[in-house]
Chains A and B, each alone.
Chain A
């Protein structure tokens, strides 16, 4: 008998679910490496060839190689190289449609944390890297897509630290009152098992789709708050062989995006791939 079981990792599931949401003709503002970058590049490869993306450190609209070439001039065939201020100017001016970002914790209004766990800012229980470019991306892009693994202590009523803004307290115009551009905010939260949106009026997180291999109850059971649940709850199909093949051979051969430093930590698709301290790293110390 032929075993037709498909196996995939959490990270692969994140990248695939994200990739399926990508839209052609849109611009994505991303950080180097990690599941959001994988999702955007896989989405460009398979579903939305005309999407463009730019990196927080100043590379505008690169055209990746499949598979990535080993190179010291990352971001191959970019349209422009600029100061890291340039893509921020453009995000502020409205050119960047989507931010695609990692988070350690997300709250019910889409505020997210990549700074610290604990209650004392000066002496955190666990310090993380900080905002990187996430704060300005989540503030100035029209829509924010967050990517994180669904596990306990990730989706919480209140984050320990709002590194980057969602809908803040959820009240109308809360973002504008805080000085952020109008009509912006979180759009989707992608996990390996479910996808969430935000209800228009209350700005509260809403369960939109659940993996075919799990259930809404199981998903909500891993959350620290009750989300709204969409009336027409969609089903997420598991990653297909084509998606996994593309991810493993064309986008991220060898899993380097999350593998930590290696000889190949600079790969064609972008910049340095930082050591294993990505935002979604372990919550344990």
Chain B
């Protein structure tokens, strides 16, 4: 795995050298045109490879509309591999791809590197289940699971910020190797990330660059999708378009499957177009136990149990019991909801529907 990572200081192709050769091609030759690297963060990151990403897209993504509906089990089996970098939109509390994450845990994927920006309880849950060995933060719920895993060297954390990560996805989705940002500079989050400080050739001022990220897989829960993956996200927040656009493989789980004609009727509402998407999983209550804007509240009891398990002493066995009950002992989310969640709870969670909440 080490060949696909780089520590900014050692293995990175020298941006300084690249800058020099690039400025040599210029005709104006002005001195401030050279893009000098002043400082580099020491955190680990995947080396940006925009041409590699383009080739992957050329060779692997289906352009025309094809039916991509499949089960969560099949989607995760096909598109999530051990050692992958995965990115999530939303989190355990709010429009997170929680059904898909349970499937990742159920299939006991290993050595994943995950972008947590902004994450919550799903990060310690993935760590507790042994799926994740690296986290880019962002933000995560730093429950005792995280404390133990870091102390024992089972978890590596790379410091960014929510914005650092969302700009990195934006760069990845734009097909460029980096983006300038006007934050991170001067902080420990700079030193422990893979950002670089350069002299901006246009203004002559110092400027921070963040490397693009092209995750192996994006897991995104949406309100509506047609069978081809044209999908709609309503309500505020996160970065579904950037995360999907930057990833090699995109698994969508959706509350509702809608007709393609409906997508074509109101194309301005499409968050992600079909050719970016690899799998469409029909997943009512797919954000359970979190809430879904306009549709349902979170299940406070489940969230409370999870939080308690994550904060419990390690020898209490509560986390293992939690994983066994909600994930390992059932074959799917359908079975989980059937067995463990009262129908009343689900109907109490329901608040409104998409047309009522969002006028479509």
Contacts and interface: CB of A to CB of B under 8 A. Distances in A.
A275 B141 contact: yes
Interface stretch (A70-78, A145-153, A217-225, A228-236): A70-78
B163 interface: yes
B285 to A, nearest CB: 13
A130 B237 CA distance: 19
Contacts of A161: 188
- Report the contact-size class of chain B (Cβ under 8 Å from the partner): 35 or more
A72 B118 contact: no
A72 B150 contact: no
A140 interface: yes
A284 to B, nearest CB: 12
Contacts of B153: 122-123
B137 A129 contact: yes
Given A131-B161, A131-B189, A78 B236 contact: yes
Interface string B61-84: 000000000000000000000000
B186 A163 contact: no
Interface residues of A, number: 66
B106 interface: no
Contact of B141 (A58, A129, A263): A129
Interface stretch (B260-268, B288-296, B313-321): B288-296
A131 B139 contact: yes
Interface in A57-85: 57-59, 70-75, 78, 81-85
B186 A165 contact: yes
Contact of A266 (B147, B164, B186, B291): B291
B111 interface: no
Contacts of A162: 186-189
A135 B189 contact: yes
B182 interface: yes
Contacts of B181: 92, 136
B182 A72 contact: no
B238 A57 contact: yes
Interface of A: 55-59, 70-75, 78, 81-85, 88, 92, 111, 115, 121-124, 126-136, 138-140, 161-165, 168, 174-181, 260-266, 271-272, 274-275, 277, 285
